[in-house]
């Protein structure tokens, strides 16, 4: 296979151009162009394709931002309250009328915005 690159993953296969590399974010599927190893199947999307996917996912609000906040819970009546910082409130367009779903996933609490006609 003259003119093809050797796979940097396995070192045995050769990379072939493909246009069906799939990335998934928030339930949305993105197809990217790149190269795939004919032996190990490792995929290497082109950098400009990755950037295009990231930009699209950000526009759609499904790109996971690198964010981990630490907060103390407060007590209100017989319930616990989790305060959301104002910068996150603005970024996600939240207000006191926003409905959320709360789920337990192992030792994590997951809060998701419920889809309505407004959002």
pLDDT digits (tens, 9 = 90+) for 88-114: 888 788 999 999 999 999 888 888 998
Q: What percentage of the chain exceeds 70 in pLDDT?
A: 92
Angle at 37 between CA 33 and CA 41, to 5 degrees: 95
Q: What percentage of the chain exceeds 90 in pLDDT?
A: 41
User: Would you tell me how many other CB atoms lie within 10 Å of the CB of residue 49?
Assistant: 17
Cα(96)–Cα(55) distance, integer angstroms:
29
Cα(54)–Cα(63) distance, integer angstroms:
7
Q: Which residue has the tokens 């190893």?
A: 37
Enumerate domains of the chain plus CATH numbers: 15-60 (no CATH), 74-113 (2.10.260)
């Amino acid at each position: 296979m003259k003119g093809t690159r050797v796979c940097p993953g396995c070192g045995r296969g050769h990379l072939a151009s493909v246009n069906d590399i799939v990335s998934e974010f928030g339930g949305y599927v993105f197809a990217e162009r790149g190269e795939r190893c004919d032996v190990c199947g490792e995929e290497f999307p082109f950098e400009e394709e990755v950037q295009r996917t990231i930009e699209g996912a950000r526009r759609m609000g499904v790109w996971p931002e690198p964010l981990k906040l630490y907060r103390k819970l407060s007590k209100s009546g017989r319930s616990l309250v989790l305060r959301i910082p104002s910068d996150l409130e603005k970024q996600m367009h939240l207000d006191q009328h926003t409905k959320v779903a709360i789920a337990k996933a192992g030792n994590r609490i997951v809060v998701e915005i419920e889809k309505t006609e407004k959002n």
